[in-house]
Chains A and B, each alone.
Chain A
Amino acid sequence: MRNLIDIKDLSVTEIEELIKVAEDIMQNPDKYSEKCKHKKLATLFFEPSTRTRLSFEAAMMELGGNVIGFSSADSSSTSKGESVSDTIRTVGCYSDIIAMRHPKEGAPLVASTKTTVPIINAGDGGHNHPTQTLTDLLTIYCEKKRLNNLTIGLCGDLKFGRTVHSLITAMSRYENIKFVFISPEELKIPTYVKVNSNIDYIETKDIEEYIDKLDILYMTRVQKERFFNEEDYLRLKDYYILDKEKLEKAKKDLCIMHPLPRVNEISTEVDDDPRACYFKQVAYGKYIRMALLLKLLDIK
């Protein structure tokens, strides 16, 4: 494999290998500090996403490599009307690997056909964001020591949330996974996601109904840009606010996740709870990206 465009590009075995390498990096960071010496990562962000870009850049730097790139379309030649294909052909001459984010769906797939340099999809519109899914998988693995036999609650915007859809796809490949979909009527999970993944699930509007059964609680943000009218957004954005009280009946070893940034779907009073894993999740994101860079650059 030379590119990562869609999480489905990775087999279960390949994901396992990435997780092993990420764990080894966490335990022996010095061993990896010069692995990517003299290698260049280009971060091409045709749409800004500081969080994801910094994670990639930090990952490359901790491997001893260098970073070039741009952080928005205004500062790139796109603003002069250059096509994605031409930008990639050019940048492919300067870099060893490319992480790219683009507002148009399928742009990274196009890029991968225009250069021999490996392409990582760092998010293409509302379509795919495979390194977020890898981050989620590493978090679950490190916190629960397994990827099977889990009951996973997904809460919030399950209709538009792409991170949720690809996490379901990824987790549906493991044994004995049960999902609890928690959302208001308007933001229910689309039927095709449930049908395609052939999964075991229950649906509810009430966050507390099954909270005592959950091993993982994955909270998501209701995104303003998905709504046509302000009224619906305001009504739905605070539909769920996770606080100490709601967590009373939850398991002692529950793992609370969130792809971040959060707005107010998790009350800050939860941050100090040992079950809150969403900031650890950020750190895991860097380690899995380090493992991915090594894999795609074919560095052992």
Chain B
Amino acid sequence: MINIDSIENGIVIDHIQAKKSLEIYEALNLGELDCPVAMITNARSKKMGKKDIIKIAQNIDLDLNILGYIDPNITINIIKNDKRVDKYHVELPKEIVNIAECKNPRCITSIEHELDQVFILTDKENKTYRCKYCEAKVVKN
């Protein structure tokens, strides 16, 4: 495996489904940070075969809803002074706001643009989110 410097203080987002790290990088606006950010794709994983990892050399506030929505199997490690001080899992959020957009042309959000784009988890098993207003299913890219 390629060696990427371990971080002294910051966050390691681990167990990302392979090839999904770029989507997360963009959704969390990691490009706007000043600190180093490393993205590793196709790392070997016993559990998953291949996985992606993102390392952020700074403790930032993460939007767990975005992470949970993109990939609910992610684990988050908080690193302080070279040590992992916290580890937690994300889960599918019950509601997502302004992450996805309703594609239904008959939806009120198509004409009233100041409305938040709100989707509600209606089926956990199938990870189905539906528009709060028109109940159309979210179309994932």
Partner-B contacts on A (CB < 8 A): 83-85, 102-107, 109-110, 124-127
Q: Which residues of A contact B110 (CB under 8 A)?
A: 104
Residues of B62-117 at the interface with A, using a CB-CB cut-off of 8 Å, are: 104, 106-112, 114-115
When C-beta atoms are compared, the residue in chain A nearest to B123 turns out to be A196
CA of A109 to CA of B102, assembled, Å: 15
A103 contacts B106, C-beta separation under 8 Å? yes
- Name the A residues within 8 Å of B134 (CB-CB): 104-106, 125, 127
Classify chain B's interface size. 10 to 19
Q: How far is the CA of A85 from the CA of B104 in the complex (A)?
A: 20
Instruction: Enumerate chain B residues within 8 angstroms of A127, measured Cβ to Cβ.
Output: 106, 134-135
Which of B104, B108, B135, B136 is A110 in contact with, Cβ under 8 Å? B108
| CA distance in complex: A107, B131 (Å) | 12
The answer to whether A102 and B108 have CB atoms under 8 Å apart is yes
Kindly state whether residue B132 has any CB partner on chain A within 8 Å. Answer: yes
Q: Is the CB of A105 within 8 A of B112?
A: no
Known: A102-B108, A104-B106, A105-B104. A83 touches B135 (CB 8 A): no
* Pair B106/A107 contact, Cβ less than 8 Å: no
Min CB distance A106 to B, Å, is 2
**Which of B107, B131, B134: most chain A Cβ within 10 A?**
B134
- Give the complex CA separation of A110 and B107 in angstroms: 11
Closest to A127 in B: B134
In the complex, the answer to whether A110 meets B114 with C-beta atoms within 8 Å is: no
Q: How far is the CA of A236 from the CA of B13 in the complex (A)?
A: 56
